[in-house]
Amino acid sequence: MRITAVEPILLKGTQTYGATAGAEEATDNGDWQLLVRVATDEGLTGWADAETLAPAAVAIIAGQGMAVLGFKTLGELLIGENPLDVERLWDKLYVGSAYYGRRGIAIQCISAIDNCLWSIRSQAAGVSLARLLGGRRHDRVMAYASTLFRETPEGMKAAAQGYVDRGFHAVKFGWGVFGEDPGRDRELVAAAREALGPERHLLVDPGWYPAGWKTPGPMRSRRDAVALVEWLADYGVGWCEDFIHPERFDEYAYIRSRSPVPIAAGEQVATVWDFQRFIGEGCVDVIQPDLSRCGGVSVAKRVAEMAEQAGIDLVPHSWLTHLLTGYSLQLISTLPRARFVEFNVSQSALTAGIARASFRLQPDGTVPIPDTPGIGVEVDEDFVQRHRAN
C-alpha cells in the first residue's frame, strides 16, 4: 500500500469562540477548522482534525518545501510511502521538518497525520484502533461534559443542572471569566457544586493565560496558585487543570506537592521527550495528552505506558470535533484505569458538523467505545465540501 495524497482541508464557519453569561452553551472554534485527509492507492482513507493556526498548517503540509532535509513539507515526505510504517514515518516527519518544526504547528500537523495513519492501519487490519494498540480493556467510559465558565452563579447553576438533566455524572468548567475576580470565582464554583450535588464529579480548568483569555496581564503568583488549589478543595473538586504556564514544569511540581486537589495537565505538552520530563518531574496526578497536539497516537500510547509506570491517571484532552473524541476513546479503551472521556458539549456548528459519531451518552453517564475497524467516526464529506475554504 502507498500513500497517494496528504490533503490539508481548511473549513470556514460563522461562529467564534466564546463563553456566555447564563445557561446557554459556550462555543468552541466556530470560525476555522483544519482537517487532514491521507489517501492510499488501495482506497483506504484516514481523517483527523487539528487545533492550530490552520492557514499556516496548510502551508506546512502542502505548500512549497525546500531542498534540504529539515526544511521539507510534510506532504512531500509522505507521498509514496507505506502508510502501515506509522512509527518510522513519525520519525521521518519529525526530522524532515526539524528546522522549522519540532513543536507548535509542525507537531500539531504531525499529530493529525499520525492519527490518519493509525486509522488506515487499523482499517487495513480489519480491527478497531484499540485492538490494534493492544486490546480493549473497557467497552465504555464515563463522559464529562466539558464547557466554559458562565459569568454568574445563576448561569452556572442553570448550566450545571442542564448537564445533570442530560445524564452527565461529571462536568468540567474552564476559562471564561475565571481568574478575573477571585470572589466571583468562588461563587461560580460553589454554584456548580450546589447544582451537581455532592456525588457528581466537578472538574475545574482555571486557564493559564495571564489574567483570563481576553486581556494580557500578569501570571498567577506561586502564592495565588497555592491559595487557588486550597479553596477549590472546599468544593470537592476532582482536579485543577492546566493553570500554570506550560513551560513551568518546576512550578507544576511545586504546586502539586502542596495541593489538596489532584493536578491535571499536559494538553500543551508534545513529544515523548517532554512527557518523560513532565511526568518524571512529578508535575501531575492526571496526565492529559491531546492526541491532536502531542504527536498523535504514536506518542500518546507511549505516554500511557509512562503514566502506568508512574502510577498516575491518563485522561486525554479532547475538546474538538468527533474525530479527536474518536481517537481518544480508542486509546482510553486500552488503559488499565479508564477514568473519563472529555466530551465537548460546546461544539460550534462547524466542529459538530464535520463527523457523524456512533457514540452517545448512556443513562448511566458513560459513552460506549466503538469496536468497528478504525475509530468508529464517519466524516460527513458533503458538510466538508460545503464549508471548505481552500
Q: Is 205 in the site for Mg ion (CB under 5 A)?
A: yes
Using the minimum distance from each CB to Mg ion, give the nearer residue, 28 or 205.
Answer: 205
Closest CA to 312 of 342, 274, 269, 278: 278
Min dist. Cβ of residue 371 to Mg ion (A): 29
Query: What is the distance, to the nearest Å, from the Cα of residue 254 to the centroid of all Cα atoms in its chain?
Result: 25
Tell me the window of 142-150, 204-212, 325-333, 376-384 that interacts with Mg ion (CB under 5 A): 204-212
Shortest reach from residue 205's CB to Mg ion, in Å: 4
Which CB sits closer to Mg ion, 130 or 159? 159
**Residue 151 interacts with Mg ion (CB under 5 A)?**
no
Decide: 132 and 123 in contact? Cβ < 8 Å.
Answer: no
In which residue are the cell numbers 489517501 written?
39
Judged by phi (left if over 0) then psi (alpha if -120 to 50, else beta), residue 197 lies in: left
Residues in the chain: 390
Of 104-112, 219-227, 237-245, 304-312, which segment contacts Mg ion by CB under 5 A?
Answer: 237-245
State in angstroms the smallest separation of the CB of 268 from Mg ion.
9
Identity of residue 321: T
Least distance to Mg ion from the beta carbon of 148, Å? 10
Residue burial 314-350, b: 16+ Cβ < 10 Å; e: rest:
bbbbbbbbbbbbbbbbbbbbbbeebbbbbbbbbbbeb
CB atoms within 10 A of CB 66: 11
Spacing of C-alpha 328 from chain mean position: 8
Minimum distance of Mg ion from residue 317's CB (angstroms) = 6
DSSP 8-state code for residue 361: -
51 binds Mg ion (CB under 5 A): no
Judged by CB under 5 A, the residue of 51, 185, 242, 285 near Mg ion is 242
Cβ atoms of residues 170 and 145 within 8 Å: yes
- From 67-75, 238-246, 326-334, 352-360, give the range in contact with Mg ion by CB under 5 A: 238-246
| Closest distance to Mg ion from the beta carbon of 83 (Å) | 31
Bridge partners of 343, per DSSP, are: 145
What minimum distance in Å lies between the beta carbon of 174 and Mg ion?
5
Nearest partner of 343 among 328, 365, 363, 325, judged by Cα: 325
Smallest distance from the beta carbon of 320 to Mg ion, in angstroms?
A: 12
Query: Nearest-CA neighbor of 354 among 306, 386, 312?
Result: 386
Q: At what angle do helices 322-334 and 297-310 cross, to 10 degrees?
A: 40
Q: What binding mask, one character per residue, do residues 156-195 give for Mg ion by CB under 5 A, x or -?
A: ----------------------------------------
CB closer to Mg ion out of 266 and 374: 266
The region of 9-17, 33-41, 194-202, 234-242 touching Mg ion under the rule CB under 5 A is 234-242
H/E run at residue 334? helix 322-334
DSSP 266: -
Residues 6+ apart with CB under 8 A from 221: none
Nearer to Mg ion, 73 or 268 (CB): 268
Total residues at the site for Mg ion (CB under 5 A)? 2
How far apart are CB 328 and Mg ion at their closest, in Å?
A: 14
In angstroms, what CA-CA distances link 130 with 2, 86, 369? Answer: 23, 15, 9
205 vs 313, which CB is nearer to Mg ion? 205
Task: Pick the piece of the chain touching Mg ion (CB under 5 A) from 160-168, 223-231, 241-249, 360-368.
Answer: 241-249
Distances 265 to 221, 250, 279 between C-alpha atoms, Å = 18, 13, 10
Nearer to Mg ion, 96 or 266 (CB): 266
Q: In the window 108-147, what residues touch Mg ion (CB under 5 A)? A: none
Residue 148 or 369: the one with the smaller Cβ distance to Mg ion is 148
Contact positions toward Mg ion, by CB under 5 A? 205, 242
